[in-house]
């Protein structure tokens, strides 16, 4: 349930929130209704999907799940580091461990967002969102980001080639293993191009569409 803060002088507080960039409060003012959904989010590299997912969860008081979090949990259960676990899964073709746990989360939980490449596929009754981004914008974001040594790029061209290459590998791998095309927009209930949108705008649009979906139920 979304907890709404009510102020005596709403207009005054709206102006205050606008000037201070209080995204959460502004969205509370605009959407004062419960939205009860299972939501899965995926998207292009550097589309901002994880940041948006966490932002929407905060606003809507939803639980956030991610494939990275799930892999870390499975690694702990096996007494491995995350790197050891990823190597173990790859060498033994054990993608089904994460897949099965993803399905279980979808069955056992309500009011959540699952941020993962294939959560939409394993939780078919979810509201499925895909975030797109223009490759040149993705490269700009990549060059400005700090995701650790594995994603440090020496130049724009290298970043572009590696982002495109990683995407091609994902498309090919998922098609071979699951016989699905992750580039097919018809897989998703909502597709948003974040290329020229602020984070606030993406969060607001996402919640607006979720509310519309919830109202139709």
What is the CA 208 to chain-centroid distance, rounded? 16
Core vs surface per residue 182-209: b (16+ CB within 10 A) or e: beeeeebbbebbbbebeeeebbbebbee
pLDDT, tens digit, 9 for 90 and up, residues 146-194: 654 446 788 889 889 999 999 999 999 899 999 999 999 999 999 999 9
pTM of the entire predicted model = 0.80
Conformation bin of residue 78: beta by default, left when phi > 0, alpha when psi is -120 to 50: alpha
- H-helix or E-strand containing 39? strand 38-43
DSSP strand pairing (112-115 vs 190-193): unpaired
- Both tokens of residue 103? 């399905």
Report how far apart, in Å, the C-alpha atoms of 138 and of each of 40, 41, 106, 159 are. Answer: 21, 18, 30, 9
* Residue ranges covered by each domain of the chain: 33-133+187-216
pLDDT in the model for residue 89: 83
State which fold the 33-133+187-216 domain adopts.
Rossmann fold (3.40.50)
Q: Which of 41-50, 76-85, 100-109 has the weakest average pLDDT?
A: 76-85
Of the candidates 21, 30, 35, the one whose C-alpha atom is nearest the C-alpha of residue 204 is 30
- The string of pLDDT tens digits covering residues 16-68 is 444 445 555 455 545 544 678 999 999 999 999 999 999 999 999 999 999 98
């Amino acid at each position: 349930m979304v907890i709404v803060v009510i102020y005596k002088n709403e207009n005054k507080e709206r102006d205050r929130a606008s000037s201070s960039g209080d995204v959460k409060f502004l969205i509370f003012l605009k959407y004062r209704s419960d939205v009860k959904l299972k939501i899965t989010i995926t998207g292009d590299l550097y589309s901002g999907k994880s940041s948006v997912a966490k932002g929407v969860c905060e606003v809507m008081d939803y639980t956030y799940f991610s494939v990275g979090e799930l892999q870390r949990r499975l690694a702990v259960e096996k007494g491995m580091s995350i790197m050891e676990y990823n190597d173990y899964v790859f060498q033994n073709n054990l993608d089904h461990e994460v897949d099965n746990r993803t399905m279980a989360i979808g069955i056992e939980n309500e009011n959540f967002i699952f941020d993962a490449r294939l959560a939409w596929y394993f939780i078919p009754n979810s509201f499925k969102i895909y975030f797109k981004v223009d490759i040149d914008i993705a490269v700009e974001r990549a060059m400005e980001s700090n995701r650790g040594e594995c994603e440090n790029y020496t130049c724009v061209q290298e970043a572009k080639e590696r982002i495109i290459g990683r995407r091609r590998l994902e498309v090919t791998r998922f098609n071979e293993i699951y016989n699905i095309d992750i580039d097919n927009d018809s897989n998703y209930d909502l597709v948003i191009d974040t290329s020229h949108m602020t984070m606030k705008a993406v969060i607001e649009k996402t919640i607006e569409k979720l509310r519309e979906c919830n109202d139709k139920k």
